[in-house]
Amino acid sequence: MWTIRDVAKRAGVSYTTVSHVLNNTRPVSEEKRVRVQAAIAEMNYVPSAPARSLKAKTTSTIGLVVPNNTNPYFAEFARGIEGSLKRRGYCVFLCNSDNNLVTQRECLRALHQNRIDGLIVASVDDDESVADDLAAVRVPVVIVDRPVAGLDADLVQIDHEAGAMLATQHLLDLGHTRIGCIAGERETVVSAIRVAGFKRAMAERGVEVLPDAIVEGNFTCPGGYAAARELFETVAPTAIFASNDMMAIGALRAAAERGLRIPADCSIIGFDDVEMSRYVYPALSTVGQAILRLGDAAANTLLERINGTVTGPARTHLIEPRLLVRESSAPWAA
């Protein structure tokens, strides 16, 4: 790997002259500038990013930690953040915590060592240790999707309860009363809030939540598939609200295996509006989060902190959900 001294030797100038040309820190004669630029081109020299960041005290890099980058929701979310930050001259280091608190801590430590300028995190958990781990990174932090207890940081998230209510109200409006709910992991805050929205919508319409009508999945297609099979065996719902699109897609599979027609025999609605929800058959009704918009909002919020255009107490940005009715939900004909 070429060094700045190798470039200086090739150009016949001092290494400080090369540094001034690269960083535009002092005037350099046109003749020397041309020689240095020619040497850089011939050698295909690339300046050391760590060395430049030490001098500039900035790296133009942002850390992004997500719990599962194979989940289309987080993949689309990361794409939104990366696109927004790239337009502003930043690159993104993406880390996958695999829904593991220890792995998340290792990700944060590695990002801190790479001198990132800021951090966006969709945390695995809201355990008290998470707040300590994030504070130790000592850069501006934006939390997305899942609140972290005890952390003074901006939060950007969809209104989870309002979204779950929208989905449930849609099913009630279609005449369904025997409604099952597929929740995420019991310990996650997001899952608890979405289930609360489901229950609230049912209560406001005076509709009873049937015993065993809420079954836990794990925000994955297999989890939704298993939960739906259980619901079909025990509750025989005419409609299902799944707490995310991946579980709803799993439920579509379980219904097909049972010979149920969607939506004639059972309506299914999800939450997230991931891209694939539009292309499964039947196309999935869902509550949309405008995922790219969510990523853009998180990026903008972080840059405001990095640039100092916003100071003061942490803020919460709630993005309003919207109902997207497609082919998987229809009126119930008793």
Q: Which pLDDT score, from 0 to 100, does residue 5 have?
A: 85
Q: Which pLDDT score, from 0 to 100, does residue 137 have?
A: 86
Q: Which pLDDT score, from 0 to 100, does residue 159 have?
A: 92
Q: Which pLDDT score, from 0 to 100, does residue 59 have?
A: 75
Q: Which pLDDT score, from 0 to 100, does residue 252 have?
A: 98
Give 207-250 pLDDT, tens digit per residue: 999 999 999 998 999 999 999 999 999 999 999 999 999 999 99
3-class SS at 329? coil
Dist CA 269 CA 325 (whole Å) = 9
Q: Which pLDDT score, from 0 to 100, does residue 51 have?
A: 56
Contacts of 28 (CB under 8 A, 6+ apart): 17, 20, 21, 36
Of 45, 49, 51, the C-alpha closest to 60 is 49
Q: Which pLDDT score, from 0 to 100, does residue 50 have?
A: 54
Give 124-143 pLDDT, tens digit per residue: 766 678 888 888 888 999 99
What's the average pLDDT block by block, 10 residues per block, for the chain (334 residues)?
83 85 79 88 72 60 89 89 88 89 90 88 76 87 86 90 97 98 89 96 96 93 97 97 97 97 97 94 91 88 90 89 96 85
Of 120, 144, 146, 145, the C-alpha closest to 134 is 120
Count of Cβ atoms closer than 10 Å to residue 243 Cβ: 36
